[in-house]
Structure 1
Amino acid sequence: MKTVLITGASTGFGRDVAHLFAREGWNVIATMRSPEAGAELARRDNVLVTRLDVQERASIEQALQAGLARFGGIDAVVNNAGFGLFGVFESLPREKLQEQFDVNVFGVMDVVRAVLPHFREQKRGLIINVSSGAGVFGLPMSSAYCASKFALEGFSEALSYELASLNIVVKIVEPGGVLSTDFGKRSGQEVAGITPPADYAPFLTRANEVFTGLRARRLATSEEVAGVIFRAATDGTDQLRYVATKDIEPEVKARRETSESQYMAFMRSRFSPGA
């Protein structure tokens, strides 16, 4: 039986992909900041629920050792833990920007750093980093989140070249918005009480109209994204990127398949106050 370690497994993609791996016969190390939230997962014989906070390096090592002690090895890691910080950049406190990168970038790096010696020893391994459409194209009111996911994408791609000769594969899964996740709830809590300068009002009116339309396009579920993550783990390829939801396909296509001028005209036309 293969074993996967998943971060952020208490809700959303992490929880659903943990259940999916377990149903498919994998051993699962389901990690989360509050293990009591994983009571349902813990009832499965092939699942270990244990604490891991990506902002605490000691907890990363402790979770890794607990998983190795329980299952004897780790074949794959899914770096899913993350959150979104939204609002116009000028209004975002510096300490929240730091936390955005601590969780979405440095936390991932610390998990990878902890598991690599084990992967090198067994001469194989798989790392799947959950990114976002916001790691492909920039969005207003999402500068901090986009910056963290752009950084994650660059790190993942560069890392994939470093590790290929060691038979360690790196993959990126890029979801857009989904219907069944608590991501938006936490994001709303993060921006509560943050008031932008009044000068941004015309832009914010237009941006909110666009985001309302984007939310209406959300057709995927958390379970469907979990299915893409599982496919990335089991398709036997070295494919780097997987677009996980259809709602972001127009923006991804514009970014990756058109010229820079066409792409910028497409995006600017959507967010201009006079559009």
Structure 2
Amino acid sequence: MKVAIAHNNNEETLKVVAHLKELLNNKQIVYDAKYPDIVITVGGDGTLINAFHRYVNQVDSIRFIGVHTGHLGFYTDWRSYDVEKMVDALTFKKPEAAKYPLLEVTMETESGEQKHFLALNESAVKRVSHTLEADVYIDDQLFENFRGDGLCVSTPTGSTAYSKSLGGAVIHPQLKALQMTEIASINNRVFRTLSAPIVIAPDQWITIIPNTDHFVMTIDGERKNIRNAKKIISRISKHAIQFDRFGHHHFWSRVQNAFISDKKDDTI
């Protein structure tokens, strides 16, 4: 077993990382930052998302474990005071992974060049100071002519992030589906959109054809300035992110605790 650790630089995090490295060394677990079998992230959801993109080319062979040292996170199963239990579980329990869908985004330029991206949470297409005009296709059928600030396509695990703030549904991460939500769409007697989130089946895809040569695309919040793009295709990837099942991750309890409960203790 080879393990890598990704972390932020908060004071509490660095203390946990030092303790974690000591525990791994005592168990004679090999530390390998280049080709790990397991990536342990210490920090929050942002730390895990950054680690995912760092190891995106090895995503099929890596299992992720999240330790959170701040506010509640949806990807971080373990608390900082649980790291000894976590290392013991790594040593004594048979490895088993829970796989969750990823979003594959293909951008095709006017010259026919294709660029591919993987997203853990979501991808959004928008314009900063102007209205985005775009044709939206589901599979190869025109669905709507969109006008507004933008469009967001999210994974089930990303449904509690940006998509939720746009009015999207919260989707259990075991469902293999993608969701598209509109960002401030324009609806009047001239322009009309669905004005509701849509969830597509596992074998379907969404194509956005922007009526502009310059817009912004984000992949898990990372901004990319795009010019001369012909179309953007979003579908469920053949790849998936893998989390160790021995974590005590209870999705609906986490949703309740994050958005509904007024409890101060987020140890669930």
Report the TM-score, using the length of structure 1 for normalisation.
Answer: 0.31
Which has more strand, going by share of residues? 2
Q: Provide TM-score, normalisation by structure 2.
A: 0.32
Please tell me whether Structure 1 or Structure 2 has the larger radius of gyration of its CA atoms. Answer: 2
Structure whose residues are more often helix by fraction? 1
